[in-house]
Amino acid sequence: MRAIVAVLICVSVSSCSLARPINIDHSALPEAKNWYRQGDLDSAESVLLQLQRKQQGSAESDFLLANIYFRQQRLAAAKKQYERVLAQQSNHQRAWHNLALTQLRLTTDTLMRARVALMQLPEADQQLLQVLLKLQRIPSQTKSQAPITEHQSDYAF
């Protein structure tokens, strides 16, 4: 019995000593933000995905990744990332706002695809589509209804 306990203690001590320290890359998020500001969304995305793979992401890095997906019209991925932000930080107002924009775009896209597949939408769906399209043409949103970024006021486009 003592031999088993001794072996277990040895194994647990040696496995602890084999654990590698976590190296947090503090330069990755500023680097991703720089790429984002320069318009190199692919490089910014790559850096942010590396942070996620290393489990070093944050609400801030996930929010930036969601904005990249939104700008690239990868709406399902953007929705998932905004929800990820909100799971970490439920009071993130910009994430809530951008998630609403993303869902608006997804709903509009769904109705547009249905219109093509069906050749004509039922009247109620056609009216809904017209309202959604009109909503997205509000003059203050003429900058392609981009999501809110960290450098904008809470509801500016």
The total of structural domains in the chain comes to: 1
pLDDT at 79: 97
| Rounded CA separation 37/74 (Å) | 19
Q: Which domain holds residue 95?
A: 25-141
pLDDT at 62: 96
Other CB atoms within 10 Å distance of the CB of residue 95:
26
- Write out the chain's pLDDT in tens, 157 residues: 555 544 444 444 444 444 433 455 678 899 999 999 999 999 999 999 999 999 988 999 999 999 999 999 999 999 999 999 999 999 999 999 999 999 999 999 999 999 999 999 999 999 999 999 998 886 654 454 556 665 543 332 2
pLDDT at 47: 94
pTM higher than 0.75 for the full model? no
Encoded tokens for 42: 């692919």
Query: Contact 132/108 with Cβ under 8 angstroms?
Result: yes
- Whether residue 7 lies inside any domain: the answer is no
Q: Is 81 exposed, middle or buried (0-12, 13-18, 19+ CB in 10 A)?
A: buried
pLDDT at 26: 72
Residues 6+ apart with CB under 8 A from 142: 157
For residue 13, how many C-alpha atoms fall within 13 Å in the half-sphere facing its CB? Answer: 6
Rounded alpha-carbon distances, angstroms, from residue 89 to 8, 16, 59, 148, 157 = 40, 32, 7, 16, 22
Other CB atoms within 10 Å distance of the CB of residue 141:
14
Tens-digit pLDDT profile for residues 108-145: 999 999 999 999 999 999 999 999 999 888 665 445 45
- Whether residue 92 lies inside any domain: the answer is yes
- Whether residue 95 lies inside any domain: the answer is yes
What CATH number has the domain bearing residue 127? 1.25.40.10
